[in-house]
Amino acid sequence: MQETLFVENNAIGIANMRFVEVENGGYDAVNRVIMNKPQIGTYTPGTDVSYQALSATNEQLTIGTWKYAATTVDDTEKKQSAYEIGAVVAKQMQQVHNNYLEQVFLGQVTNATHTVDAGSVGGSAGSYISVNTDNIPQLFTASGTKLWGIDVKSSNRFAIIGPHTYETLLLQSAGRPTGLGDTVSVNGRAGERFGWNIVVNNNLPFTAVLSMVTQPTNGDTITIAGVTITLHATLIASAWADIRTDVDTTRTFIRDLINYNNGTGGTVSGTVGTDFTDVATEDRYLWQRRGLLAVDSPSGDTLTITGFGDIVVSETLTDATDSFTSKRQESMLTVAGSVDMVVQINPHVEVSRVEKQFADQIKSLSGHGVKTYADGARKMVRVKINAADWV
């Protein structure tokens, strides 16, 4: 059987899973009270002290996201397979659920109180960091300074970075005696550097914006995560897609093609094999693994592509002004437990027989809730990485 590649889910272990009683059932939410802090005053002997009134706000983690996968396996397929097809499908379902849960956890980086961008490493404030061997140490030291500034302890600090950032860190560390290893362990840990436990992860949030204001011409291409969409005026052998009546409908077609194949549903205008060629099975799975999603901009001239991982995008559009911009990723530098997560239904698989068929129904379910409380957000740094030069 062909080998199926999965993301190593290593970052989710850094989440806080403390609400065990909630995971066991009987609850659909976790309420936490965030109290104001006592203030100190100067006492004058013989005079009354002023009492501070306590106040508090409530923050709630809700458990209401349920994800499933389902398929059928006919007895004839099982009999003619050289491997246990049902067991393989069940394992793949669990891995898909785990991958999704990790993406939910890492997506919480946008709730971080602190941000490190190009202005923190000698560049322009507000811009994303073009990481190189000269500025990468500042990425970690600036993040550490943010946490030291509010008295966050130095223990259990984790820097979750993508493969491209890790590659630069390796080059920066070459020839130096550091705690950074040449290999990455099963749990993603690559060693220690600059006071951080380095974890290499290919599930960090990614964004790119595709500008398309001019109708593409025959043979133009758009490549997302290694999958190339070739645009043709008419469908030809091995062609991927077609050019619609105008740039707006072509851009909508590209949006729908991505969303139709990302596992969330949706439709594409036209007929497969007549108007366009659909995504190959392995390419579809790659997009689903990356959590790709395409959304129109309010102006209608661009598509915002989001996903998870070190995603490389490119294009060969004839109009030079049409291109991918704002290619960026969010790294998470945090203290373990800063994000609370409740997995009330751990990914599990059930198998039953299909009525009126000789086949098995294989289905899986998971249920979770996630929340970055105010005190957790203060222990987290969002590091803005420029992905413009990734290849």
pLDDT of residue 371: 96
Dist. CA 156–CA 12, nearest whole Å: 14
pLDDT of residue 177: 64
330 and 203 co-located in one domain: yes
Range of the domain at 181: 1-212+322-391
For the chain, give the longest Cα–Cα distance.
94
169 and 239 co-located in one domain: no
Among 321, 336, 357, residue at a domain's last position: 321
Copy the structure tokens of residue 60. 């709630």
173 and 296 co-located in one domain: no
327 and 260 co-located in one domain: no
155 and 270 co-located in one domain: no
260 and 247 co-located in one domain: yes
122 and 238 co-located in one domain: no
51 and 145 co-located in one domain: yes
Crossing angle of helices 281-290 and 85-106, in 10° steps, is: 30
239 and 302 co-located in one domain: yes
Among 279, 305, 321, residue at a domain's last position: 321
pLDDT of residue 187: 66
4 and 19 co-located in one domain: yes
Among 288, 305, 321, residue at a domain's last position: 321
186 and 328 co-located in one domain: yes
pLDDT of residue 2: 47
Domain count, the chain: 2
pLDDT of residue 181: 64
pLDDT of residue 1: 42
Specify whether the CB–CB gap between 320 and 86 falls below 8 A: no
Q: What is the CATH number of the domain that holds 201?
A: 3.30.2400.10
Query: For the chain, which residues score pLDDT lower than 70?
Result: 1-8, 175-179, 181-187, 235-241
111 and 242 co-located in one domain: no
What is each CA distance from 7 to 100, 144, 238, 260, 289, in whole angstroms?
10, 28, 29, 22, 8
